[in-house]
Amino acid sequence: MSSSAASFPARFAELVYLLANQPDATAEQESALDAAASAVADRYASLTTSQLNVDLLDVGQTMVGVHLHELVMRMSSHAAHQIDFLAKAPRSEILGVARILASDARPNDDGAAFDEKLVELAPTLVEVHLGRNGFVRTGSLTPPATERVGTPPVRTPTPFRGTPAFGTPTPSRAGTAVPSPNQPVRATPVRGGPAVAPGDDARIPAVGSAFHHGAPRTPPPPAAVIRDESSRIIEGAIKIKALAQMSDDELIDRLRAAVTPQDVRGLLDELVDVAEARAAERRWEIVTRIFHTFMKGEAAAEDDAELRRAHSIGLRRIAKPTLIRGIASLLPRRLELRDALQDVLLRLGPDGAEAVIDLLTNSDVLTDRRAYLALLVKCRDAVPTLIHLLGDNRWYVVRNAADLLGEMRAPEAENALVDIVAHREERVRRSVATALARLGTARSMQAAQQMLADPVPEVRVHAVQALGATKWPRAVPVLSRALDTEQDGEVQAVILAALGRQASNEAVARLTKAAEPEGRLFKRKPTTLRVSAVQALAEANTPAALAALKRFAEDKEREVRDAAVRALRPKTES
């Protein structure tokens, strides 16, 4: 296939995406339509959901992938599993089919709504395979024969054939065209089936068969008709009936036991239907099992690329946002499914992360949020979305995102976190201070250090605790300077405790000085400050710290003396 033909799926997918999601982007839509029309200017292009799913595995998380995924989802929801555009398909028909796909689908109608709109469009060079049982809506794909003066063809008119009951189409023979003796029979070529004669199903209009006041009547535009694929209908009906009689458990067990790609593909449509039906019933545990079975089959097929790809296509077919969000909602409630849910959601990457983040940001139940947070900490694909959420207008969303990015120690979030160190909400600033210290980069540590001067004491407390928990070489001198200027007693106590956790010689020396009775200019220090310093020396527990504690065990102030004695008491004593 030429490069232009190969580009058609991407160009057409972009057009559908723009029509569905950016209806006002007329310039972009016009450009995508031009590119799609050029791609089928000299040859046909066929779009099938199975091949598009394969293509998605190759393009990955790119904009082309986003467009193709949207196209697959919309074709599946409209039950249009194959769309063929013949060479020189006009722009109007390409645009018309794209608009139908961009419109809302009618649930569980087996393609009837799509077919109604297609009949109104009356395409001439587009063929659509609709429904599960296999019928094809097609236009007059072969142009009518050139009229020969004096030898008009004799033709029995074929009345328009109405849409049959979906799932049970019946071949019809309303009339048969009899060609002129001098005119060869022209057939409509159909890929995957026998040629269809013009008088049979192609509905080629008779030319020159009637005159009005001596002038030939303008032939009516060709109308779309149905071509039945009877053998495929019978085979498919038998297969569908057998599958339909199986329970959910039997279908899942069949998928679990599948050993060939054909086995997986044979169950795919039925399992997708089951997943959507159970989702409508909010029976998310069954949907979870289907997801997990596809994922486990994909992981197990390490040595069989085709089998692995078949499972991957199945997983992608059911990976719709509503289904992913539904199974993710079980995380806080179904502990027995939590491992399977985490496996599936992590495998789904950005789609799984986005669903969990959405649930997290809209939940006000603490236990639910903890379950979502536990999953997101393990999901690196969540980082871009979390960084984006740092700009959200809801302060609690920003705080949750900062907490998660800190837990994940995501260095790529550094710039976005630094940008909100002065956020209007102090609870956000507290989380940002902790997150920056956990990143441990030079710039993030400097930003956390600046937050020691925050006007709110609670924010300064979080900045101190974050710095004290790091192994940053400059942590002790930074905390020591902060102690010299800090006026809030609670913040002072937190700084002393942070120095005790550092436990370096420099930290112990600073704590010993803080525990001394005299301050600057022989001013007595608050007893509470001295007691906090003694307790921090006990936390350090180094030889120098123990020596200082023995000295303070004889201090004149009872509170200081008692604190030192308790610190020196063996740990085994009660």
Q: How many domains does the chain have?
A: 3
Is 115 found in the same domain as 19?
yes
Dist CA 159 CA 174 (whole Å): 7
Kindly give the residue spans of alpha helices, DSSP state H, lying in 111-178: 112-121
Is 528 found in the same domain as 444?
no
Among 330, 333, 328, residue whose Cα is nearest residue 358? 328
Q: Which two tokens stand for residue 421?
A: 């160190």
Is 24 found in the same domain as 133?
yes
Is 129 found in the same domain as 7?
yes
- Positions in the chain whose pLDDT score sits under 50: 1-5, 140-221, 223, 228-244, 572, 574
Q: What is the pLDDT of residue 522?
A: 54
Q: Which two tokens stand for residue 529?
A: 């400050």
Is 530 found in the same domain as 468?
no
Q: What is the pLDDT of residue 134?
A: 56
Q: What is the pLDDT of residue 571?
A: 58
Q: Exposed, middle or buried by CB within 10 Å (0-12, 13-18, 19+), for 193?
A: middle
Q: What is the pLDDT of residues 461-497, one digit of tens each?
A: 999 988 888 888 899 999 999 998 999 999 999 999 9
User: Is residue 306 in some structural domain?
Assistant: no
Q: What is the pLDDT of residues 109-160, one digit of tens each?
A: 778 889 889 888 888 889 888 876 556 666 644 443 333 333 333 333 333 3
**End residue of a domain, out of 88, 110, 138:** 138
Is 502 found in the same domain as 457?
no
Helix axes 475-485, 489-502, angle to 10 degrees: 160
Say if CB 435 and CB 467 are below 8 A apart.
no
Dist CA 448 CA 461 (whole Å): 11
User: Is residue 434 in some structural domain?
Assistant: yes
Q: What is the pLDDT of residue 14?
A: 93
Where do we find the tokens 């001295």? 530
Kindly give the residue spans of alpha helices, DSSP state H, lying in 22-110: 26-39, 49-59, 63-77, 91-102
Among 235, 55, 47, residue whose Cα is nearest residue 132? 235
- Within 10 angstroms of residue 261's Cβ, the number of other Cβ atoms is 18
Q: What is the pTM of this model?
A: 0.50
Dist CA 141 CA 572 (whole Å): 93
Q: What is the pLDDT of residue 132?
A: 60
Is 399 found in the same domain as 507?
no
Is 568 found in the same domain as 505?
yes
**End residue of a domain, out of 438, 472, 506:** 472
DSSP annotation string for 100-115: HHHSPPPTTSTTHHHH
Dist CA 302 CA 314 (whole Å): 16
Dist CA 33 CA 271 (whole Å): 35
Q: What is the pLDDT of residue 79?
A: 84
Q: What is the pLDDT of residue 61?
A: 67
User: Is residue 416 in some structural domain?
Assistant: yes
User: Is residue 187 in some structural domain?
Assistant: no
Dist CA 337 CA 287 (whole Å): 12
- Within 10 angstroms of residue 464's Cβ, the number of other Cβ atoms is 30
Dist CA 431 CA 400 (whole Å): 8
Is 131 found in the same domain as 34?
yes
Non-local (6+) Cβ contacts of 571 within 8 A are: none
Is 542 found in the same domain as 451?
no
In the DSSP assignment, the letter for residue 149 is: T
Amino acid letter, residue 380: R
**End residue of a domain, out of 104, 138, 172:** 138
HSE, side-chain direction, 13 A CA sphere, residue 302:
2
User: Is residue 84 in some structural domain?
Assistant: yes
In the DSSP assignment, the letter for residue 488 is: -
User: Is residue 46 in some structural domain?
Assistant: yes
Q: Exposed, middle or buried by CB within 10 Å (0-12, 13-18, 19+), for 560?
A: buried
Is 460 found in the same domain as 492?
no
**Structural domain of 529:** 486-574
User: Is residue 208 in some structural domain?
Assistant: no
Say if CB 413 and CB 407 are below 8 A apart.
no
Q: What is the pLDDT of residue 326?
A: 94
Is 495 found in the same domain as 463?
no
